[in-house]
Amino acid sequence: MNYEEYLQTHEAEHLAELFELLRFPSISALSGHKADILQTAEYLRTQLEQLGFSRAELLPTRGNPVVYAEWMGAVGKPTVLVYGHYDVQPVDPLELWTTPPFEPTIRDGKIYARGASDDKGQVFMHLKALQALLVTDGSLPVNIKFCIEGEEEIGSAHLPEFLEQNAERFAADVLLISDTGMLGPNQPTICYGLRGLAAVQIDVTTANSDLHSGLFGGAVPNAVHALVELLGTLHDTDGRVLVDGFYDQVADVSPEERAEFHALDHNDETYRNALGLSALHGEPGYSTLERLWVRPTLEINGIYGGFQGEGTKTVIPREAHAKITCRLVPNQNPEDILRRLEDHVKQHAPTGAKISITRHDSGHPYVTPFTHPAIQLAAKAYEQAYGVTASFTRGGGSIPIVEVFDRLLHIPVVLMGFALPDENFHAPNEHFSIENFRLGMRTLCHYYLGLPNALAD
Amino acid sequence: MNYEEYLQTHEAEHLAELFELLRFPSISALSGHKADILQTAEYLRTQLEQLGFSRAELLPTRGNPVVYAEWMGAVGKPTVLVYGHYDVQPVDPLELWTTPPFEPTIRDGKIYARGASDDKGQVFMHLKALQALLVTDGSLPVNIKFCIEGEEEIGSAHLPEFLEQNAERFAADVLLISDTGMLGPNQPTICYGLRGLAAVQIDVTTANSDLHSGLFGGAVPNAVHALVELLGTLHDTDGRVLVDGFYDQVADVSPEERAEFHALDHNDETYRNALGLSALHGEPGYSTLERLWVRPTLEINGIYGGFQGEGTKTVIPREAHAKITCRLVPNQNPEDILRRLEDHVKQHAPTGAKISITRHDSGHPYVTPFTHPAIQLAAKAYEQAYGVTASFTRGGGSIPIVEVFDRLLHIPVVLMGFALPDENFHAPNEHFSIENFRLGMRTLCHYYLGLPNALAD
Q: Measured between alpha carbons, how far is A102 from A19 in angstroms, rounded to an integer?
A: 9
CA distance A122 to chain B (A): 17
Backbone φ/ψ region at B403: left (φ over 0), alpha (ψ -120 to 50), beta: alpha
Helix axes A120-137, A434-456, angle to 10 degrees: 60
Q: What is the mean pLDDT of residues B93-122?
A: 96
Based on the fold, state whether residues A312 and A301 are members of the same structural domain.
yes
Of B276, B323, B396, the CB nearest to A307: B323
Q: For chain B, how many structural domains are there in total?
A: 2
Residue B335 lies inside a defined structural domain of this protein? yes
Residue B268 lies inside a defined structural domain of this protein? no
Q: B17 burial class (0-12, 13-18, 19+ CB within 10 angstroms)?
A: middle
Q: Measured between alpha carbons, how far is A72 from B441 in angstroms, rounded to an integer?
A: 88
Q: A347 — contact with chain B (CB < 8 Å)? A: no
Q: Which residues contact A119 (CB under 8 A, 6 or more apart)?
A: A84, A85, A86, A152, A178, A179
Q: A302 — contact with chain B (CB < 8 Å)? A: yes
Based on the fold, state whether residues A171 and A264 are members of the same structural domain.
no
pLDDT of residue B410: 82
Listed by number, the residues of chain A in 104-163 with a beta carbon closer than 8 Å to a beta carbon of chain B are 154-155
Q: List b or e across A71-96, with b for residues whose CB sees 16 or more CB atoms inside 10 angstroms.
A: beebeebbbbbbbbbbbbbbbbeeee
Of A155, A296, A303, the CB nearest to B305: A303
Cα dihedral angle (A260, A262, A265, A268), rounded to 10 degrees?
150
Q: Is B221 within 8 Å of B350 (Cβ atoms)? A: yes
**pTM higher than 0.90, yes or no?**
no
Based on the fold, state whether residues B79 and B10 are members of the same structural domain.
yes
Q: Which residues contact B115 (CB under 8 A, 6 or more apart)?
A: B21, B22, B26, B88, B121, B430
CA distance A427 to chain B (A): 5
Nearest to B375 by CA among B290, B442, B293, B451: B451
Nearest to B416 by CA among B88, B161, B122, B26: B122
Instruction: Give the phi and the psi of residue B247 in degrees, each rounded to 5.
Output: -95, 0
Q: What is the CATH number of the domain that holds B204?
A: 3.30.70.360
Last residue of a domain, which of A322, A338, A363?
A: A363
- DSSP letters of A222-238? -HHHHHHHHHTTSB-TT
What is the distance, to the nearest Å, from the Cα of residue A310 to the centroid of all Cα atoms in its chain? 35
Nearest to A24 by CA among A78, A81, A91, A92: A91
pLDDT of residue B409: 86
Q: What is the mean pLDDT of chain B?
A: 94
Based on the fold, state whether residues A277 and A358 are members of the same structural domain.
no
Q: A101 — contact with chain B (CB < 8 Å)? A: no
Higher pLDDT, B161 or B372: B161
Residues in chain B closer than 8 A to A313 (CB atoms): 29, 89-90, 301-302, 323, 426
pLDDT tens profile A156-195 = 889 999 999 998 999 999 999 999 889 889 999 888 888 9
Based on the fold, state whether residues A111 and A125 are members of the same structural domain.
yes
Residue B285 lies inside a defined structural domain of this protein? no
Q: What is the mean pLDDT of residues B267-295?
A: 95
Q: B300 — contact with chain A (CB < 8 Å)? A: yes
Residue A346 has a CB neighbour count (10 Å cut-off) of 10
pLDDT of residue A397: 79
Based on the fold, state whether residues A257 and A304 are members of the same structural domain.
no
Residue B266 lies inside a defined structural domain of this protein? no
Residues in chain A closer than 8 A to B304 (CB atoms): 303-305, 308
Based on the fold, state whether residues A111 and A187 are members of the same structural domain.
yes
Residues in chain A closer than 8 A to B218 (CB atoms): 239, 282-283, 291-292, 295-297, 327, 396
In B124-230, DSSP assigns E strands to 143-149, 174-177, 189-194, 196-205, 211-212
Q: B302 — contact with chain A (CB < 8 Å)? A: yes
Based on the fold, state whether residues B179 and B306 are members of the same structural domain.
no
Listed by number, the residues of chain B in 194-253 with a beta carbon closer than 8 Å to a beta carbon of chain A are 195, 197, 199, 206-222, 224-225, 227-229, 231-232, 235, 237, 239
Q: Measured between alpha carbons, how far is B13 from B19 in angstroms, rounded to an integer?
A: 10
The H or E element containing residue B319 is strand B319-328
Based on the fold, state whether residues B31 and B172 are members of the same structural domain.
yes
Based on the fold, state whether residues A185 and A201 are members of the same structural domain.
no
CA distance A443 to chain B (A): 23
Angle at A104 between CA A98 and CA A108, to 5 degrees: 65
Going by pLDDT thresholds of 50, 70 and 90, the confidence category of residue B139 is: very high
Residue B63 lies inside a defined structural domain of this protein? yes
Chain B: residue whose CA lies nearest to A208: B276
Among A99-108, B107-116, B360-369, name the one with the lowest average pLDDT. Answer: B360-369
Percent of chain B with pLDDT over 90: 81
Q: What is the mean pLDDT of residues B383-402?
A: 85
Residue B396 lies inside a defined structural domain of this protein? yes
pLDDT of residue A225: 98
ipTM value, please give it: 0.72
Residues in chain A closer than 8 A to B29 (CB atoms): 309-313
pLDDT of residue B213: 92
Q: Which residues contact B335 (CB under 8 A, 6 or more apart)?
A: B362
Residue B242 lies inside a defined structural domain of this protein? yes
CA distance A193 to chain B (A): 12
Nearest to B239 by CA among B289, B196, B299, B329: B299
pLDDT tens profile A387-421 = 998 888 887 877 767 878 877 888 889 999 999 98
Last residue of a domain, which of A363, A381, A414?
A: A363
Residue B90 lies inside a defined structural domain of this protein? yes
Q: Mutate one of A34, A210, A215 to test the B interface: name it (highest B CB count within 10 A).
A: A215
pLDDT tens profile B204-244 = 999 999 999 988 999 999 999 999 999 999 999 999 999 99
Amino acid identity for residue A432 in this structure: F
Q: B221 burial class (0-12, 13-18, 19+ CB within 10 angstroms)?
A: buried
Last residue of a domain, which of B363, B386, B403?
A: B363
Q: What is the DSSP letter of A433?
A: E
Nearest to A27 by CA among A116, A119, A114, A90: A90
Based on the fold, state whether residues B212 and B349 are members of the same structural domain.
yes
The H or E element containing residue A175 is strand A174-177
Nearest to A299 by CA among A321, A335, A326, A332: A326
Q: What is the CATH number of the domain that holds B443?
A: 3.40.630.10
Domain interval for residue A359:
196-249+296-363
Of A213, A214, A292, the CB nearest to B219: A292
- DSSP letters of B104-148? -EEETTEEESTTTTTTHHHHHHHHHHHHHHHHHHSS-SSEEEEEE
Based on the fold, state whether residues A18 and A155 are members of the same structural domain.
yes
Q: Is B256 within 8 Å of B388 (Cβ atoms)? A: no
